[in-house]
């Protein structure tokens, strides 16, 4: 059986040797306690003006000064203390937040001891009504480095973390006397426009990726293929440029690196590739495989689609594709991870020559030979 798994609840544990972690703590001087500033140390400059709102002049501008200030102001807690890290992140939350990605991850980043960390708070559809908040953080992957620290913990009332449902797709999370409201992204009214759902396609639900792009997740019952189709009903927060001036059907996002092929038989753009470097580094541009429409999948539709393609998984997965006897869930990634732009030539060589629907859609499948 070809086992395809994606796992975002628990980040992969690639622990560095204990000696390396000890050296990290000694080098930064920030591991357990941070001394008070020396007498005479100037107070950091703080502007009384709040940042500009979206659309106002200056919105979205960042400065190198802010990066360096963060490096110099590392927080004083043990980076291996999961609850201390959670307290640090929770304290930074405003009173209300919006969780855009459709697998309900609320992503964050912070700096500790000169090292960048990333992580997420997740209200998983499987257990959030049981009072569980998943918390994970890890040192950010870099091409030249290894993952030094990786921690995960499901937080419950036993950890003084209270999760309470406040309404449809609304949850209040309380910790140490403070409450933050999490509004999960309500896309229940999102429906593909006419023509996007082609013959044999079943619409499984809307996808909001952490890249900021939105998709429709489709499954073709005849070909037994999944499709991520770009949602173009609103503003597409990327600049899609033709891969080659003579082949405008293949377009690549300047910001995301997502590659789309213009469907010859329906008015839609199909995701055919994501940049492999972003997959390796687990960035926001690693593709929508980890943002399935969990809140909007009706009944058994996703499991039925997976079993139609992989009947050998019958009895091994739940209705959302999570494995019953091991961590992770079935990997829905009907696109290639390309290592260099030239690898996308395969779609031009194949797709432009396909004369009928069957051959055309076969050309867009990741299993085709270059």
114 plus 240 within the same structural domain: no
Q: Domain check: are 182 and 208 in the same one?
A: no
Q: Which residue among 126, 158, 186 closes a domain?
A: 186
Q: Which tokens is 80 given?
A: 């291996």
The residue behind tokens 């055309």 is 360
- Of 186, 214, 232, the residue that ends a domain is 186
What is the residue whose two structure tokens read 């969990």?
Answer: 294
Tell me, yes or no, whether 33 lies in a domain: no
Q: Are residues 82 and 206 in the same domain?
A: no
Residue 108 lies in a domain: yes
**DSSP strands (E only) in 159-316:** 161-167, 170-175, 178-184, 201-208, 214-220, 225-230, 240-244, 247-253, 259-262, 269-275
Is 21 domain-assigned?
no
Residue where one domain finishes, among candidates 127, 155, 186: 186
Question: Which domain does 263 fall in, by range?
Answer: 201-364
**Per-residue pLDDT at 213:** 98
Is residue 345 domain-shared with residue 219, that is, in the same domain? yes
Q: Is 6 helix (H, G, I), strand (E, B) or coil?
A: strand
Asked, for residue 194, whether it belongs to a domain, the answer is no
Q: Is residue 11 part of a domain?
A: no
For residue 85, the number of C-alpha atoms closer than 13 Å in the C-beta half-sphere is 27
Instruction: List b or e across 200-237, with b for residues whose CB sees 16 or more CB atoms inside 10 angstroms.
Output: ebebbbbbbbbbbbbbbbbbbeebebbbbbbbeeeebe
288 and 342 part of one domain: yes
For residue 51, the 8-state DSSP code is P
pLDDT value, residue 48: 45
Residue 100: per-residue pLDDT:
98
**Domain contains 84:** yes
Asked whether residue 205 falls in the same domain as residue 104, the answer is no
* Residue 229 shares a structural domain with residue 301: yes
Asked if residues 262 and 247 have their Cβ atoms less than 8 Å apart, the reply is no
Are residues 176 and 218 part of one domain?
no
What is the DSSP code string of 55-123?
Answer: TSTTTT---HHHHHHHHHT--SS-TT-HHHHHHHHHHHS-SEEEE-STT-EEEEEEEETTEEEEEEEE-
Residue 14 counted as domain residue:
no
Number of domains in the chain: 2
- DSSP code of residue 347: H
Strands 178-184 and 201-208, how do they pair?
Answer: unpaired
- Give yes or no: residues 81 and 211 share one domain: no
User: Is residue 122 domain-resident?
Assistant: yes
Residue 113 has a pLDDT of 87
Specify whether 160 is located in the same domain as 229.
no
The per-residue pLDDT string of the chain (370 residues; one tens digit each, 9 = 90 and over) reads 334 555 544 343 333 333 333 344 433 444 333 333 343 434 443 444 557 888 889 888 989 998 888 888 778 899 999 999 999 999 999 999 999 999 999 999 999 988 899 999 999 999 999 999 999 999 988 888 877 899 999 999 999 999 999 999 999 999 999 999 999 999 999 999 999 999 999 999 999 999 999 999 999 999 999 999 999 998 999 999 999 888 889 999 999 999 999 999 999 999 999 999 999 999 999 999 999 999 999 899 999 999 999 999 999 999 999 999 988 899 999 999 999 989 998 888 887 777 788 889 998 888 754 4
Instruction: Specify whether 114 is located in the same domain as 224.
Output: no
Rounded CA separation 16/14 (Å): 7
Same domain, 146 and 277: no
Whole-model pTM: value is 0.84
Identify which of 152, 98, 105, 14 has the alpha carbon closest to the alpha carbon of residue 288.
105
């Amino acid at each position: 059986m070809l086992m395809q798994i994606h796992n975002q609840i628990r980040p992969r544990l690639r622990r560095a040797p204990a000696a390396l972690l000890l050296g990290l703590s000694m080098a930064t001087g920030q591991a357990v306690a941070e001394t008070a500033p020396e007498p005479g140390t100037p107070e950091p400059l703080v502007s009384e003006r709040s940042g500009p709102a979206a659309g106002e002049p200056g919105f979205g501008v960042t400065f190198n000064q802010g990066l360096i200030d963060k490096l110099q102001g590392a927080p004083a807690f043990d980076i291996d203390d999961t609850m201390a890290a959670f307290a640090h992140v929770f304290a930074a939350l405003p009173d209300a937040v919006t969780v855009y990605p459709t697998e309900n991850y609320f992503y964050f980043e912070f700096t500790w001891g000169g090292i960048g960390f990333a992580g997420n708070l997740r209200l998983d559809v499987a257990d959030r009504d049981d009072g569980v908040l998943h918390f994970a953080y890890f040192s950010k992957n870099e091409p030249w480095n290894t993952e030094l620290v990786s921690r995960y913990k499901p937080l419950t009332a036993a950890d003084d973390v209270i999760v309470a449902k406040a309404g449809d797709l609304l949850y209040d999370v309380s910790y140490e006397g403070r409450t933050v409201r999490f509004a999960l992204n309500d896309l229940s009214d999102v429906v593909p426009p006419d023509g996007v759902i082609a013959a044999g396609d079943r619409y499984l639900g809307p996808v909001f990726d952490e890249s900021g792009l939105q998709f429709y997740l489709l499954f073709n019952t005849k070909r037994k293929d999944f499709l991520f189709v770009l949602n173009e009903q609103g503003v597409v927060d990327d600049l899609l440029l033709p891969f080659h001036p003579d082949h405008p059907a293949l377009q690549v996002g300047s910001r995301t690196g997502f590659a789309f092929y213009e469907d010859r038989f329906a008015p839609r753009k199909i995701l055919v590739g994501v940049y492999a470097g972003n997959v390796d580094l687990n960035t926001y541009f690693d593709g929508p495989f980890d943002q399935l429409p969990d809140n909007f999948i009706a009944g058994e539709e996703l499991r039925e689609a997976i079993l139609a393609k992989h009947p050998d998984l019958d009895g091994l997965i739940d209705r959302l594709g999570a494995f019953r006897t091991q961590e992770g869930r079935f990997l829905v990634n009907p696109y290639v991870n390309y290592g260099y732009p030239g690898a996308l030539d395969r779609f031009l060589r194949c797709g432009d020559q396909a004369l009928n629907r069957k051959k055309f859609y076969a050309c867009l499948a990741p299993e085709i030979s270059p």
